[in-house]
Amino acid sequence: MITGAAGFLGSHLCDKFVGEGYKVIAMDNLITGDLKNLEHLFPNPDFEFYHHDVTKYIHISGPLDYILHFASPASPIDYLKIPIQTLKVGAMGTHNCLGLAKEKRARILVASTSEVYGDPLVHPQTEEYWGNVNPVGPRGVYDEAKRYMESITTAYHSFHKVDTRIVRIFNTYGPRMRLNDGRALPAFIGQALRGEDITVFGDGSQTRSFCFVSDLIEGIYRLLLSNYTGPVNIGNPNEISLKRFAEEVLALTGNKVKIVSLPLPVDDPKQRRPDITLAKKLLNWTPIISRKEGLEKTYHYFKELPQEEWYRQPKEFLSGK
């Protein structure tokens, strides 16, 4: 079972597991996801979709071997608009998935994030670092939900002996992201496609490390099949400043727009780079797609979308309860 299956990462996970010959139950309430990401899988008899909110009790008949819990708004533009749902899916959604794993004796992997490191005081970030998170800052709803997720997952492992895995995902990009999700990479590509100036927050010296989606999915697959229960960083350690990155996007698109600066958002992390020593040793995993190749694939995907997608406004949500 994969929760958050209609989202960016969830849909790629569905492809991977169906491709490896598993029967997949995909679950999503479509709050930020889109069935378009899954429609190619609907004819497959090994694939089933359940429209369900994982903060409500989850019932699945029959056995389950693995649960991958990926349901959660993931980009600031989403979780700042639906802060309570974000906290609930990290807390109650994770609790329900862990309960299901216990009942079915299934192995469960939960999707944590580099955001548990907050605005890190240690660089690059290793799994031992405890983080620098502001619980009452605007991003706290996401960061603390994921920290609670790690905590309750670890408690289910030690207290109920549930077989658990925790992946700490660093910025990942690729086809099926939403152009308007507010993250730097789709924002830059969207602006370049629409012929608008590219906006960089602050002086653009803050860094990010971008991992192409196929590398991340392979890392998650290997972690699930490993026997390690502690948190594992999966990401690409190739770090770049956002200013330099905006220049790379511009060069790729051949566009002549300007790069302009906007005020830095509150609690925006200044630097981010995974230390992946553990993943290399444990999973014999390392990212193989260069930023140039990944960026080209992603740009091509967005360029081929119907033009109205380039102008689609961010999703409005009905309530933040």
Ligand X SMILES: NC(=O)c1ccc[n+]([C@@H]2O[C@H](COP(=O)([O-])OP(=O)(O)OC[C@H]3O[C@@H](n4cnc5c(N)ncnc54)[C@H](O)[C@@H]3O)[C@@H](O)[C@H]2O)c1
Q: Which residues are the active-site residues?
A: 142
Smallest gap from Cβ 205 to ligand X, in A, equals: 21
Tokens in use for 77?
């533009």
| Contact pick of 113, 191, 214, 233 for ligand X (by CB under 6 A) | 113
Which of 204, 235 has the CB closer to ligand X?
235
The C-alpha atoms of residue 232 and residue 220 are separated, in whole angstroms, by 9
Picking from 129, 132, 114, 7, the residue whose alpha carbon sits closest to that of residue 70 is 7
Cα 126 to Cα 221: distance, rounded to the nearest angstrom: 20
3-state secondary structure of 274: strand
Q: How does strand 239-241 pair with strand 207-209?
A: antiparallel
Q: Smallest distance from the beta carbon of 254 to ligand X, in angstroms? A: 27
Measured between alpha carbons, how far is 261 from 243 in angstroms, rounded to an integer?
Answer: 9
- The only residue of 15, 17, 24, 32 in contact with ligand X, by rule CB under 6 A: 32
Shortest distance, position 195 Cβ to ligand X, whole Å: 26
Whether the CB-CB separation of 269 and 119 falls below 8 Å is answered with yes
Name which position in 54, 108, 242, 246 contacts ligand X (CB under 6 A): 54
Of 9 and 25, which CB lies nearer to ligand X in the complex structure? 9
**How far apart, in whole angstroms, are the C-alpha atoms of residue 105 and residue 100?**
8
The token pair that represents 257 in the structure block:
């727009």
3-state secondary structure labels for all residues of 104-169: HCCEEEEEEEHHHHECCCCCCECCCCCCECCCCCCCHHHHHHHHHHHHHHHHHHHHHCCCEEEEEE
CB of residue 202 vs ligand X: minimum separation in angstroms? 21
Given the complex with ligand X, which of 34 and 255 has the nearer CB atom? Answer: 34
Q: Does 236 bind ligand X (CB under 6 A)?
A: no
Instruction: Examine residue 172 and tell whether it contacts ligand X (CB under 6 A).
Output: yes
Angstrom distance (rounded) from CA 205 to CA 240: 9
Cβ 118 to ligand X, closest distance in Å?
13
CA–CA gap between residue 99 and residue 153 (Å, rounded): 10
Measured from the CB atom, the residue of 204 and 274 that comes closer to ligand X is: 274
Contact status: 175 vs ligand X (CB under 6 A): no
Query: Is residue 275 close enough to count as binding ligand X by CB under 6 A?
Result: no
145 or 283, CB closer to ligand X?
145
Is residue 6 part of the contact set for ligand X (CB under 6 A)?
Answer: yes
Nearer to ligand X, 138 or 255 (CB): 138
Binding span for ligand X by CB under 6 A among 27-35, 94-102, 199-207, 241-249:
27-35
Q: Is 298 one of the binding residues for ligand X (CB under 6 A)? A: no
Is 10 among the residues that bind ligand X (CB under 6 A)?
A: yes
The answer for 4, left when phi > 0, alpha when psi is -120 to 50, beta otherwise, is left
Stretch that binds ligand X, among 1-9, 130-138, 259-267, 313-321 (CB under 6 A): 1-9
Q: Which of residues 60-89 bind ligand X (CB under 6 A)?
A: 70-74, 89
Q: Residue 32 CB, nearest distance to ligand X (Å)?
A: 4
- Residue 254, classed as helix, strand or coil, is coil
User: Which chain residues interact with ligand X by CB under 6 A?
Assistant: 3-4, 6-10, 28-33, 53-55, 70-74, 89, 93, 111, 113, 169, 171-172
